[in-house]
Structure 1
Amino acid sequence: MSRSIPLAVRRKVSLRANAQCEYCLVAERVSLYKFHIEHIKSLKHEGTNDLINLAYCCPDCNYYKGSDIGTFSDDGESLIRFYNPRKDRWDDHFELDNGTIHGKTDIGRATVKLFKFNDIDRLIFRQQLIDLGLYP
């Protein structure tokens, strides 16, 4: 999380995202941790602090994404960008099945894989939230 992002911008990003992770859809209110303002295109890759390049992100998604902007396909031949919450619709790229997030497209599958959406601890947590009516 960059400290150079003003508080007013942080608030706008949080409000726009309805205070939930724009990648895995977990709400900040159910997290033990403060959410991050994430650069969709990292500063390292010449991204900016403009609102269009910022996403509200849980610590897990932000950690696994890091400064990456994509990954290679399973065959190692094609570079596939990650899901971009400013350009893409979540439902076009992902589906939820009993707490498991499945990628429906190459972009969705690449994001699921690198963000580790379905690691066991994250999966158990989402299932508990579903049981409590708190997810998505």
Structure 2
Amino acid sequence: MDRPYLNKELRRLVANRADYLCEYCLIQEEDTVLGCTVDHIISIKHGGSSNEDNLAYCCVFCNRFKGSNIGSILWETKEFVRFYNPRWDNWGQHFKINDFRIESITSIGEVTARILGFNDQPRLLERQILISKKRYPSPLALKRINL
């Protein structure tokens, strides 16, 4: 399967729309060593497209962990639950920031946080450092949380 080509204008639109924040974990692009990239929310292999309604801006860590997955099993109920979708969902309805952890509020939040590794040790440490420097959550991230 060929990788879809995303031109500079489309990449810029996605980045600007996200305020240069990862739309999953809300880290600012300038605060993550490897930067951010454009993610297909629903991967091409699952029938997703490369139009702006199916693209999200995300940090390399969220993108790597998400891969082409679209959801996961919620083990308590043994049900398949889709991931948080930045085009459909409000971040603050599925997650909350508690100290330096991103806690889930819903089952969508739970499977997303688990698979994307929001609270893996290196990411907690990164967030703890950013919080101590008053860089997380940024004012733009707070705006997204409270939409």
Normalised TM-score (structure 1): 0.96
Alignment of 1:109-128 (within 5 A): 109-128=110-129
Alignment of 1:19-38 (within 5 A): 19-38=20-39
1:41-62 alpha-carbon deviations (Å, 9 max, x no partner)? 0011010000000000000000
Q: Which residue of 2 aligns with 1:52?
A: 53
SS state at 2:118 partner: coil
Q: Are 2:119 and 1:97 aligned?
A: no
Name structure 2 gaps, 5 residues minimum. Answer: 138-147
Q: Which residue of 2 aligns with 1:74?
A: 75
TM-superposed CA distance for 1:32, in Å, is 1.5
TM-superposed CA distance for 1:34, in Å, is 2.7
RMSD: 1.1
Q: Are 2:108 and 1:107 aligned?
A: yes
- Distance in 2 (alpha carbons) for counterparts of 1:116 and 1:33: 16
TM-superposed CA distance for 1:77, in Å, is 2.2
TM-superposed CA distance for 1:65, in Å, is 0.3
SS state at 1:80 partner: strand
| One-letter amino acid matched to 1:98 | D
Alignment of 1:9-24 (within 5 A): 9-24=10-25
Q: Are 2:42 and 1:41 aligned?
A: yes
Greater displacement, 40-49 / 28-37: 28-37
| One-letter amino acid matched to 1:127 | Q
Name structure 1 gaps, 5 residues minimum. Answer: none
- Distance in 2 (alpha carbons) for counterparts of 1:117 and 1:19: 18
1:61-83 alpha-carbon deviations (Å, 9 max, x no partner)? 00000000000111362110000
- Distance in 2 (alpha carbons) for counterparts of 1:74 and 1:101: 19
TM-superposed CA distance for 1:3, in Å, is 5.9
- Distance in 1 (alpha carbons) for counterparts of 2:77 and 2:31: 37
2:4, 2:50 within 8 Å by CA — same for their partners in 1? Answer: no
SS state at 1:135 partner: coil
Moved over 3 A (4+): none
